[in-house]
Amino acid sequence: MATDSSATARKPIAEFFDKAGMLVVLAILFIACSLFVENFFSLANMKGLALAVSMTGMVSCTMLFCLAAGDFDLSIGSVVACAGVLAAVVMNKSESIALGVGAALGLGALVGFINGFVVAKLKINALITTLATMQIVRGFGFIISGGTAVGIGIEDFFGLGNSAFLGVPTPVWITAACFAMFGFILNRTVFGRDTLAVGGNSEASHLAGIAVTRVKIAIFTAQGVMAAFAGIVLSSRVTSGQPNTSQGFELEVISACVLGGVSLTGGVGSMAFVIAGVLIMGIVQNAMNLMNVATFYQYVARGLILLAAVLFDRWKRRKS
């Protein structure tokens, strides 16, 4: 038996790809669309693109934490809808923006806390737990609204979704702030590091003194609040609470995260890559719209991209 090694340094290109991965794909995609898709590279379209990804972007911040901790949350789409409806109803009744926003955020926190409690404390599978709350919360949205859109009577509230600062829509600013904040939390705080450790091996983390249950409950609660906030922004943009909105939103957010290299088994994830994932999804959608691709085909295309991303990731890992 003999093994000897010819001293070959690893090729710099492969190394670069390893580190940069999806960021490279994003750059290539962006350049390609700018060159070949008409009207893509224009100020108006860039604004539209940013606005279109702002909601996915916001919620993917907390979803990143959820996935990194080894969990899952399917209830966010329902929370977005229900929070929007609740905000609308409370605002109309009380004529107070603060009360409406507060009620919606409270609802999000409550749903998130329940998710977290059931998953972390009662040790029920996150997929099943949030599948249940997803339906419950969707149902509540319909009950509160009576099944139809609830128009909002306070015009001041519309500023949140429809104003702009320095030419950039407010929701985009909010999303950018979320990226920065959650990226900071993930990388620089004990909580962020603990999150990744819990996802990597929760038993070992527990024995290393990490309060695993508390970390998970906090993540789910934050996720609920974030989804509710996205729901509020959405209701402001469309000036009403829509009980039907955002079905399948959870899958869009999870797809973006996975595209951004977040491991579904937990322990691995970075904010920069999630941002890339969100943007890739957004650009593809935007380009297809500009090219007048029918909606039905867009579903197919999005699924294929996700599959390709996962396979690419797997291939890359095999290589190293």
Question: Can you give the binding site for other proteins, defined by CB under 8 A?
Answer: 1-8, 10, 187-193, 196-197, 200-201, 203-211, 263, 266-268, 320
What single-letter amino acid sits at 31? I
Give the residue with the Cβ less far from other proteins, 29 or 64. 64
- 202 vs 246, which CB is nearer to other proteins? 202
Closest distance of CB 315 from other proteins, Å: 16
Smaller CB separation from other proteins, 20 or 251: 20
| 292/320 with CB nearer other proteins | 320
Residue 269 CB, nearest distance to other proteins (Å)? Answer: 10
Q: C-beta of 268: minimal distance to other proteins in Å?
A: 5
Whole-angstrom CA distances from 189 to 28, 48, 62, 82, 182 are: 33, 34, 15, 32, 10
Is the Cβ of residue 59 or residue 215 nearer to other proteins in the bound state? Answer: 215
CB of 1 to other proteins, least distance (A): 5
> For residues 274, 278, 283 and 288, what is the CA-based torsion angle, rounded to 10 degrees?
130
Minimum distance from residue 82 beta carbon to other proteins (Å) = 32
**Residue placing its CB nearer to other proteins in the complex, 178 or 210:** 210
- CA dihedral of residues 99, 104, 105, 111 (deg, nearest 10): 140
- Return the exposure string of 281-311: e unless at least 16 CB atoms fall within 10 Å of the residue's CB, then b: bbbbbbbbbbeeeeeeeeeeebeebbeebee
Q: Which helix (H) or strand (E) holds 42?
A: none
**Cα–Cα distance measured from residue 116 to residue 128, given in angstroms and rounded to the nearest whole number:** 12
**Angle formed at CA 83 by CA 238 and CA 169, multiple of 5 degrees:** 40
Residue 267 Cβ vs other proteins, minimum distance, rounded to whole Å: 4
CA angle 80, 261, 47 (to 5 degrees): 55
